[in-house]
Amino acid sequence: MYTEVTGGVTAARGFKAAGVRCGIKQDQTKKDLAIVFSEVPSIAAATFTTSAAAAPPVHVNKDILKNSAIVRGIVVNSGNANSCTGERGKEDARTMIRTATELLGIPADQFFASSTGIIGEYLPMDKIVPGIAEAVSQLSKDNHASAAEAIMTTDTVPKENAITFTLDDTEVSIGGMAKGSGMIAPNMATMLSYVTTDADITQPLLQKALRSAVDKSFNCISVDGDTSTNDMVGIFANGRAGNKKIVSEQQPQYARFADALEYLLRSLARKIVIDGEGATKLIEIQVHGAEDEESARKACKAIGNSNLFKTAVHGEDPNWGRIVVALGYSGAAFDPGKLDIYIGDVPVYQVNYKIDFNFDDARRALAGDTVTVTVNLHKGNARAAFWTCDLTQEYIVINAHYHT
Amino acid sequence: MYTEVTGGVTAARGFKAAGVRCGIKQDQTKKDLAIVFSEVPSIAAATFTTSAAAAPPVHVNKDILKNSAIVRGIVVNSGNANSCTGERGKEDARTMIRTATELLGIPADQFFASSTGIIGEYLPMDKIVPGIAEAVSQLSKDNHASAAEAIMTTDTVPKENAITFTLDDTEVSIGGMAKGSGMIAPNMATMLSYVTTDADITQPLLQKALRSAVDKSFNCISVDGDTSTNDMVGIFANGRAGNKKIVSEQQPQYARFADALEYLLRSLARKIVIDGEGATKLIEIQVHGAEDEESARKACKAIGNSNLFKTAVHGEDPNWGRIVVALGYSGAAFDPGKLDIYIGDVPVYQVNYKIDFNFDDARRALAGDTVTVTVNLHKGNARAAFWTCDLTQEYIVINAHYHT
């Protein structure tokens, strides 16, 4: 379907990246500053946290996106979220952007800034400013992996992926990197993902495709249900592929691009869940037969955010009762007598309260690294999917005994 | 303010109770069937689970409440929730009621039935019917504690309380019992509470006072955020105190009664939270300065249901960042620069991003059995309170390794 390729955030033509250590993180071996840059003018689209306590860089990026038709990349630091830092935080985010754009020789309103890490401390600008200079000097096609590494906080592995596909006869690439699932760590907020593409597409359609892909990927995962103050997904498109420009939602090329973007973001989202704190299993929840998509999503989320369900999966217990309970309070319409629940391929609860399932088969379906739960609500034709991880003692250990 | 007295669910005049073992639970030492009964005609009010998968007894009780002006008590079994059992489950609930009312010599539409325990199994009626006969034979003023014991599932202690107060010059009592906070155990659903009073009050006002008190007590607690299929709070009022009947919301006696009921339900709700699975600390969350009560409640719930916050309290980490994050996605209006957060009496975050708090003082405020978090949103005058417990490794152990 799509060809996965190496190259991450620089797989698309015309993009460079770098990741360096500037000294924000105490661990001397860890990178903490990344830049992604399009050599030629690019447009951008983005989705931001809905938190009422959105961090200063989020506000600054929103202003940039509103005021400039061209946005050519982003500078990101990890180790400090620049959150709950007020006006000074905004000024620091603007200084990051100004420093980068001056060195890159582009206008100061054509760049984003992001931060992730501890909340409530001012950025160490004396380290960040020279760090930006070093990162700019190292920008290259080859440094995508360093960039993915430099945006990590408590992530245990860097997360990147890229795909190629054709629009008409033109080869197009989309690549990206991501870090830690929302609130995977104490005061280490933030799900961040930056994506680049050489597709030629209008800004409103890029925004539309991103919104839709985010809703079906990053908005369908959860490690512990929290939403951070710094969450952001940004995409940059520079048109270097030379495809016939996508200008209408009605074009089949738009659908193809949007679908490819969704595929890429889902692959990054899964990497985040698998790397969830203390997680030992990836759980995929499929709800179908819902009245509408909203209901399907509500049902998915209620199951995926239930501590009781997530601990049952950890214990490899085919506890369908906890799924019924979560559905019950999800807000999705269904009749408890007209419901099918499968763990893997094993029916554990079926219409007319049929529950004499094969316990051993169900246990086996829970034994692997990936567990699938499928629910048919028998109310309509809408569906949704959701990814989460099991809840383990290790999660408690990590989060209870990390101190500010 | 109110005098706490012994007597639990039979503290009010004219009520009797009993708790017996009929053999539903495998453990031979555990009681599993309770009856509460008013010797004279009483009215009832109740609130029920909002789950779309509400269990059969819930539907049966709703019908009783709709059709009969008089409801004289309840028969409850533990060990089996009679949930996801369809028409047969309803028939079994009606049989429980019919058996009890025939033995008590009252009409069959004047009684409730409740069940709590495992989901998805039919009730063992061959054990329950004789159990009801035995419980009826043991009904007495003295057996309130046995009744409180017989409704337990994974609760480690029975929960009961009673208060007396005066309306005009008449002494009035309200007493009750409760079990396990919603979904404290795998397939062991259900928060149940039954309350009795000898106050004389109209049914609509009794329902109104109960609704309001439940919203500020049982609806303001959480162990893990789940809502069960069987949740129910019921109150029976038999007028035996002989107070001047409460007939209008405008009477000061109504306000006094409603406040007393809220006090009693809050005391029972706290007992549930303290007994939460694996809990080591009771957490009280106070949000004030909210735009409206709805916002205050949303803010409370977001903090109280955050795994990250609850693990931080367990680790005695004054991690105010997790509180800001939870507020951020709560839906409550606030400005992150105009916010005060206290742990105990220690300010940890104050207006204008002031965060240079005394770490040792904050640690000490987290060290006890009870932790209080107070938030001022600086947006208005509304307030709410919420009670929860810390999230511990023990919770995971209990819930992952209990098998269906």
Which of A236, A401, A279, A284 lies closest to B317 in space, CA to CA? Answer: A401
> What distance in Å separates the CA atoms of residue A132 and residue A12, rounded to the nearest whole number?
23
B321 touches A: beta carbon within 8 Å: yes
| ipTM of the complex model | 0.75
Predicted confidence band of residue B224 (pLDDT cuts 50, 70, 90): low
- The mean pLDDT of chain B is 91
Tens-digit pLDDT profile for residues B77-106: 999 999 999 999 999 999 999 999 999 999
In 3D, which of A181, A349, A371 has the Cα closest to residue B84?
Answer: A349
d(CA A378, CA A333): 9
Identify how many contiguous H helices and E strands chain A contains and give both numbers.
11, 16
Summarised one tens digit per residue, pLDDT across range B185-197 is: 333 446 899 999 9
CA distance B391 to chain A (A): 7
Q: Is B54 exposed, middle or buried (0-12, 13-18, 19+ CB in 10 A)?
A: buried
Binary contact (B325, A227; C-beta < 8 A): yes
Across the interface, whether the CB atoms of A119 and B395 are under 8 A apart is answered no
Q: How far is B147 from chain A (nearest CA, A)?
A: 26
Proportion of chain A in helix, strand, coil states, percent, rounded to 5: 35, 25, 40
Q: Can you give the pLDDT at residue B6?
A: 96
Cβ of A324 within 8 Å of Cβ of B86? The answer is no
Give the whole-angstrom CA distance, residue A70 versus residue A109. 8
Picking from A308, A315, A392, the nearest residue to B224 by CB comes out as A308
For A391, nearest residue in chain B (alpha carbons): B396
Alpha-carbon gap: A344 to the closest alpha carbon of chain B (Å):
18
Q: Do A187 and B322 touch (CB under 8 A)?
A: yes
pLDDT at B219: 86
**Residue A287 in contact with residue A296, Cβ under 8 Å?**
yes
Contact B312 A226 (CB under 8 A): no
Contact between A393 and B394 under an 8 Å Cβ cutoff? The reply is no
Instruction: Give catalytic residue positions of B.
Output: 190
B245 close to B201: Cβ distance less than 8 angstroms: yes
Rounded CA separation A85/A98 (Å)? 19
A392 to chain B, closest Cα gap in Å: 6
Instruction: Give residues with Cβ within 8 angstroms of A273, minimum separation 6.
Output: A181, A221, A222, A223, A279, A282, A387, A388, A389
- Confirm or reject contact between A116 and chain B (CB < 8 A): no
Residue A391 to residue A311: CA distance in whole angstroms: 5
B325 touches chain A (CB under 8 A): yes
Alpha helices (H) in B4-124, listed in sequence order? 56-67, 86-104
Ranges in chain A, pLDDT < 70 = 181-190, 223-227, 401-404
Q: Find the radius of gyration of the CA atoms of chain A.
A: 22
Is residue B349 within 8 angstroms of chain A, CB to CB?
A: yes
Q: Which residues pair with A159 in a beta bridge?
A: A178
Number of H helices, E strands in chain B: 11, 16
Q: Cα dist. B261→B163, B207, B264, B384 in Å?
A: 9, 11, 5, 17
- Hey, is the C-beta of B333 within 8 angstroms of any chain A C-beta? yes
Token pair listed for A21: 């250590």
Best of B329, B360, B377, B394 to mutate (most A CBs within 10 Å, chain A): B329
* B247 in Cβ contact with B202 (< 8 Å): yes
3-state secondary structure of A290: strand
Identify whether the C-beta of residue A351 lies closer than 8 Å to the C-beta of residue A378. Answer: yes
Written as six digits, the tokens of B379 are: 């947006």
Q: How far is CA B81 from the centre of its chain?
A: 17
- Global pTM value: 0.82
Q: HSE on the CB side for B124, CA within 13 Å? A: 15
Q: Is the pLDDT of residue B201 over 70?
A: yes
Interface of B with A in 127-186 (CB under 8 A): 183, 186
Which residues of chain B does A321 touch, with a Cβ-Cβ cutoff of 8 Å?
83-84, 118-120, 186-187, 189, 404
* Cβ contact, residue pair B325, A86, below 8 Å: no
Are the Cβ atoms of B317 and A85 closer than 8 angstroms?
A: no
- Indicate yes or no: CB of A321 within 8 angstroms of CB of B120: yes
Give the E-state strand segments of A306-403 in sequence order.
Answer: 340-343, 346-349, 370-376, 382-389
Query: Quick check: A329 contacting B, CB < 8 Å?
Result: yes
Spatial separation of the C-alpha atoms in residues A17 and A32, rounded to whole Å: 14
The half-sphere exposure of A228 on its side-chain side, counting CA atoms within 13 A, is 33
Q: What residues in A contact B186, CB-CB < 8 Å?
A: 308, 312, 317, 319, 321-322
Greatest alpha-carbon span in chain B: 69
pLDDT-wise least confident of B38-52, B134-148, B271-285: B271-285
pLDDT tens digits, residue range A231-289?
Answer: 899 999 999 999 999 999 999 999 999 999 999 999 999 898 888 878 889 999 999 99
> Are A214 and A33 in contact, with CB atoms under 8 Å apart?
no
Q: What local confidence, expressed as pLDDT, does residue B3 receive?
A: 94
- Put simply, the answer to whether B400 touches A315 (Cβ < 8 Å) is yes
User: Which long-range contacts (C-beta less than 8 Å, at least 24 apart) are formed by A202-208?
Assistant: A202/A43, A202/A245, A202/A246, A202/A247, A203/A43, A203/A44, A203/A45, A203/A69, A205/A246, A205/A247, A205/A248, A205/A249, A205/A254, A206/A43, A206/A44, A206/A45, A206/A235, A206/A237, A207/A45, A207/A46, A208/A249, A208/A258
**A77-115: pLDDT as tens digits:** 999 999 999 999 999 999 999 999 999 999 999 999 999
Mapped onto helix, strand or coil, the DSSP state of residue A210 is: helix
Q: How confident is the model at residue B327 (pLDDT cuts 50, 70, 90)?
A: very high
CB of A284 closer than 8 Å to CB of A342? no
Question: Most B CBs within 10 Å: which of A85, A228, A325, as the mutation test of the B interface?
Answer: A325
Q: Which residues contact B321 (CB under 8 A, 6 or more apart)?
A: A83, A84, A118, A119, A120, A186, A187, A189, A404
The reply to whether residue A319 touches residue B187, judged by beta carbons under 8 angstroms, is yes
Nearest to A95 by CA among A60, A69, A68, A121: A60
To the nearest whole angstrom, how far is the Cα of A394 from the nearest Cα of chain B? Answer: 8
Q: Which of residues 50-89 of B touch A (CB under 8 A)?
A: 50-54, 83-86
Residue B315's nearest CA partner among B283, B375, B363 is B363
Beta bridge pairs of residue A179: A192
Which B positions 19-38 lie with beta carbon below 8 A of chain A? none
- Could you tell me if A77 and A130 are in contact, meaning their C-beta atoms sit under 8 angstroms apart? no
- Residues in A touching B308 (Cβ below 8 Å): 183, 186, 224, 226, 399
Alpha carbon distance A269, A256 (integer Å): 20
Rg of the Cα trace of chain B? 22
Separation between Cα atoms, residue B192 and residue B321, nearest integer Å? 35
Question: How many A-B residue pairs are in contact by the CB < 8 A criterion?
Answer: 230
> Do B402 and B185 form a contact (C-beta atoms < 8 A)?
yes
Do B159 and B178 form a contact (C-beta atoms < 8 A)? yes
Q: Which of residues 356-375 of B touch A (CB under 8 A)?
A: 359
Residues of A with CB below 8 A from B120's CB?
320-321, 324, 349, 353, 355
Beta strands A15-20 and A33-38: pairing type? Answer: antiparallel
Chain A residues closer than 8 Å to B119 by CB: 321, 324-325
- Alpha-carbon distance B400 to nearest alpha carbon in chain A (angstroms): 4
pLDDT of residue A126: 98
- Per-residue buried b or exposed e for A40-71, using 16+ beta carbons within 10 Å of the residue's own CB: eebbbbbbbbebbbbbbbbebbeebbeebebb
Nearest C-alpha neighbor of B355 from the set B319, B389, B302: B319
Choose among B331, B355, B393: nearest Cβ to A396: B393
Interface contact B317, partner A, CB < 8 A? yes
Q: How many residues does chain B have?
A: 404
CA distance B273 to chain A (A): 16
Query: Which chain A residue shows the shortest CA-CA distance from B324?
Result: A53
Q: In angstroms, how far is CA A26 from the centroid of its own chain?
A: 26
Residue whose entry in the numeric block shows the structure tokens 């742990």: B343
